[in-house]
Chain A
Amino acid sequence: MPLDQKASTPSRIKKVSPLELMIVWADGHESHIASAVLRRECPCASCRDEMTGARILLPMHVADDLELRKIQLVGQYALQFEWADGHHTGIFSFELLRELCPCVDCRKKA
């Protein structure tokens, strides 16, 4: 597997707590992403304009303590979450999830 593909291929997916998702990637990197961050970045058509990509859901409208209820694998390429606010229509590709890694190294590259 080429390195860039490893970077977006999970080897472990874990709900550490209702507030935190952990993904260990095939390149060894470990990402910890907050539930609220995922909700704010939801790519579904009711949260982001399909054509322009502009935000419809504003980050300020998501509480920092919004809890993750459920995590589901979508085929072999993405994850789908359900949050305590009932929202569940976003499909997060592995590539998007890696881009959302909040660590200092990943932020520098972004």
Chain B
Amino acid sequence: MAFWNKDGKSTPTEEQILGELKKVLDPDLRKDIVSLGFIRNLKIEGSAVHFDMNLTTPACPVKDQMRDQAIALVKALPGVDSVDVKMTAEVRQAPQMDKTAMKGVRNIIAVGSGKGGVGKSTIAVNIAASLAAAGAKVGLLDADIYGPTTPIMLGIETAPKSVGTRIQPQVSADVKFMSMGLLVKTDQPLIWRGPMATKALQQCLFDVDWGELDYLVIDLPPGTGDVHLTLAQSIPVTGAVIVTTPQDVGLRISMKTLRMLQQTRVPILGIVENMSYYICPHCNSQDHIFGHGGGARAAEQLGIPFLGEVPLDMAIRTQSDIGSPIVVAQPDASSSRTLRQIAEKVAAQVSIRAFEAPVLEVE
């Protein structure tokens, strides 16, 4: 059925527009945007078409591409002069999550590494800050009891307040965060046996007022210890990101953490290679100090996504030291772009899991 407007031109029908929009595929979810339910509030006013595109994450890496494609297709319909698209996002809840004590938390992303010192916390902080900057509600739990660094990287080192038995997380860079390091004085070490670590982690998960979160990023300690096991046993982790350096030693130990997570059926969202190369501040030449391509090769062998290479960049380090993550302080720096792309890929992988993961319950 075609309508005719004042100028005698035909107005497209809703079916025609949805038919065109069905040609736009979400490359991560491998379905068209109409079947995925992304198109909302479709309005046709004469030759002007308006609709919302409601994605599964505000940090969608192909957001612009899908919007531009949708606009071009609808605009090509006869009788359409203007297309106005409002981009919105609603992060889906991982299917297992609503059954736990952390009802408001939609997805949990664990960031782990094999050996220490690979920049795991730096990556975790910048992923969290990138997702928050994209408009998502983000939390960060620093569960590295041996070397809690996020209070330094986020510039708040005072203990959180408690309301009743609930702990109020600190907020920095729009990220709600809690660190095991905030449970003791800055220069005091946590000297805990396994059961204490387990209890403290559960307290940070369940007694902190996380509220509504699209993503809770958990910065794990290096290796495969009590914290990992407690996490894998206490909550359905949506997925894990493994951080490694390109050198063989780091990679081989990362594999142990990866295998442990796989054994406890935590889906692996991908590998990030940190300290991939050094950019000389004098001549801008790139040096692959720790070797090259190790992370990408490992990801390919294991059949898991490779999320990106982060350079050894002095700016990343200085921003971490002054408590203001580079993705927030210098959003246009090339390292910020790299880190943001990694965060977007992580968000895309989380969306894929939310669609694929089966719901398991005991009847």
Interface residues, chain A, CB within 8 Å of chain B? 10-15, 71-79, 91, 93-94
Pairs of residues from A and B, 3 with the lowest C-beta to C-beta distance, nearest first: A77-B265, A14-B363, A76-B265
Q: State in angstroms the CA–CA spacing of A15 and B49 once bound together.
A: 54
The 30 listed contacts between A and B (C-beta, < 8 Å) are A10-B360, A12-B363, A13-B360, A13-B361, A13-B362, A13-B363, A14-B362, A15-B362, A72-B362, A73-B360, A74-B233, A75-B232, A75-B234, A75-B264, A75-B266, A76-B96, A76-B232, A76-B236, A76-B237, A76-B264, A76-B265, A77-B263, A77-B264, A77-B265, A78-B233, A78-B264, A79-B362, A91-B233, A93-B263, A94-B265
CB proximity of A28 to chain B, nearest CB, Å? 14
CB proximity of A92 to chain B, nearest CB, Å? 12
Q: Say yes or no: B362 contacts A71, CB within 8 Å.
A: yes
Interface of chain A: mostly helix, strand, loop or mixed: strand
Q: State in angstroms the CA–CA spacing of A90 and B233 once bound together.
A: 13
Contacts of B235 in A (CB 8 A): 75
Q: State in angstroms the CA–CA spacing of A14 and B96 once bound together.
A: 17
Contact with A along B347-363 (1 / 0, CB 8 A): 00000000000101111
Q: State in angstroms the CA–CA spacing of A71 and B363 once bound together.
A: 9
Contacts of B230-245 to chain A: CB distance below 8 A: 231-237
CB proximity of B100 to chain A, nearest CB, Å? 10
Q: Say yes or no: A76 contacts B363, CB within 8 Å.
A: no
Question: Whose C-beta in chain A lies nearest to the C-beta of B264?
Answer: A77
Q: State in angstroms the CA–CA spacing of A74 and B235 once bound together.
A: 8
- Among B231, B361, B363: residue with most chain A CB under 10 A: B363
Contacts of A15 in B (CB 8 A): 362-363
CB proximity of B84 to chain A, nearest CB, Å? 42
Interface residues, chain B, CB within 8 Å of chain A? 96, 231-237, 263-266, 358, 360-363
Q: Say yes or no: B237 contacts A75, CB within 8 Å.
A: yes
Q: State in angstroms the CA–CA spacing of A28 and B93 once bound together.
A: 27
Contacts of B234 in A (CB 8 A): 75
Q: State in angstroms the CA–CA spacing of A77 and B96 once bound together.
A: 13
Q: State in angstroms the CA–CA spacing of A77 and B235 once bound together.
A: 11
Question: Whose C-beta in chain A lies nearest to the C-beta of B96?
Answer: A76
Q: State in angstroms the CA–CA spacing of A77 and B228 once bound together.
A: 13
Q: State in angstroms the CA–CA spacing of A101 and B308 once bound together.
A: 43
Specify which of A11, A13, A75, A79 is in contact with B236 (CB 8 Å cutoff).
Answer: A75
Q: State in angstroms the CA–CA spacing of A11 and B265 once bound together.
A: 14
Specify which of A11, A75, A77, A94 is in contact with B358 (CB 8 Å cutoff).
Answer: A11
Q: State in angstroms the CA–CA spacing of A79 and B354 once bound together.
A: 22
Contacts of B362 in A (CB 8 A): 13-15, 71-73, 79
Q: State in angstroms the CA–CA spacing of A74 and B46 once bound together.
A: 56
Question: Whose C-beta in chain A lies nearest to the C-beta of B266?
Answer: A76
Specify which of A11, A12, A75 is in contact with B233 (CB 8 Å cutoff).
Answer: A75
Contacts of A14 in B (CB 8 A): 362-363
Question: Whose C-beta in chain A lies nearest to the C-beta of B230?
Answer: A75
16 new A-B contacts at CB < 8 Å, known A10-B360, A14-B362, A75-B232? A11-B360, A13-B363, A74-B233, A75-B231, A75-B233, A75-B236, A75-B266, A76-B232, A76-B236, A76-B237, A77-B232, A77-B264, A78-B233, A78-B264, A79-B362, A91-B233
Question: Whose C-beta in chain B lies nearest to the C-beta of A14?
Answer: B363
Q: State in angstroms the CA–CA spacing of A73 and B96 once bound together.
A: 11
Contacts of A91 in B (CB 8 A): 233
CB proximity of B355 to chain A, nearest CB, Å? 15
CB proximity of A94 to chain B, nearest CB, Å? 8
- Among B236, B264, B360, B361: residue with most chain A CB under 10 A: B360
Q: Say yes or no: A76 contacts B263, CB within 8 Å.
A: no
CB proximity of B106 to chain A, nearest CB, Å? 16
Contacts of B264 in A (CB 8 A): 75-78
Contacts of A76 in B (CB 8 A): 96, 232, 236-237, 264-266, 360
Q: State in angstroms the CA–CA spacing of A94 and B265 once bound together.
A: 10
Q: State in angstroms the CA–CA spacing of A108 and B266 once bound together.
A: 31
Question: Whose C-beta in chain B lies nearest to the C-beta of A80?
Answer: B233
